[in-house]
Amino acid sequence: MDAVKPGSWITYAEGAELLGISYGTFGARARRAQLKSRVEAGSLQVCLTAAFLSQYVQQPQAPAPDSNAGIASWLDGLADRADASAEDLAREAGEMNAVGEDRAGAAGLSAAVVMGCLALLLRAGAETLSAPQEDASDVR
């Protein structure tokens, strides 16, 4: 049977074939789901609901792509995005370096002086954070 949708009217025989079950089992499921029914051309038909279809009918799945081809294209896309990100980061780093040099120049400092001062500050901060050494000279 072709694709069925909610609101489709099918006979018990068509429903049994669709689900791969017996006529009686399909009838029991249709009654349990309280599907609307009618007699059309001497055949009992039921109206399928979305809930019934989602519970009993497996939807066709797209064929799985070739896993190697899918991985290769995914990796190519990832490499392209990484290259673009690296270019963006390099551009931003260059802009930040230029801004830093401009500000240091405006303050009358060279980049080397600023880096030297920063190194001294970090070293001084590290020394104050280290644990104090106890003087053991007065211990007998």
d(CA 20, CA 14): 10
pLDDT tens-digit series, residues 91-126: 877 777 777 777 766 676 666 777 787 788 887 776
Tell me the pTM.
0.41
Position 51 in a domain:
yes
Percent of the chain with pLDDT over 90: 18
Give me the domain span that covers residue 114: 85-129
Q: Give the confidence band of 83 by pLDDT, cuts at 50, 70, 90.
A: confident
Other CB atoms within a 10 A radius of the CB of residue 26 amount to 23
Position 100 in a domain:
yes
Give the best-scoring range by mean pLDDT among 72-81, 94-103, 128-137.
72-81
Position 27 in a domain:
yes
pLDDT tens-digit series, residues 28-54: 999 999 999 999 888 889 999 989 988
Position 38 in a domain:
yes
Percent of the chain with pLDDT over 70: 74
Instruction: Give yes or no: residues 52 and 13 share one domain.
Output: yes
Using H for helix, E for strand and C for coil, what is the string for the chain? CCCCCCCCEEEHHHHHHHHCCCHHHHHHHHHHCCCCEEEECCEEEEECCHHHHHHHCCCCCCCCCCHHHHHHHHHHHHHHHHHHHHHHHHHHHHHHHHHHHHHHHHCCCCHHHHHHHHHHHHHHHHHHHCCCCCCCCCCC
Position 41 in a domain:
yes
Position 72 in a domain:
no
Nearest to 58 by CA among 11, 98, 86, 18: 18
Tell me what pLDDT residue 129 has. Answer: 57
Position 70 in a domain:
no
Q: Give the confidence band of 131 by pLDDT, cuts at 50, 70, 90.
A: low
CB under 8 Å to 15, separation ≥6 — which residues?
Answer: 26, 30, 46
Domain count, the chain: 2
Position 62 in a domain:
no
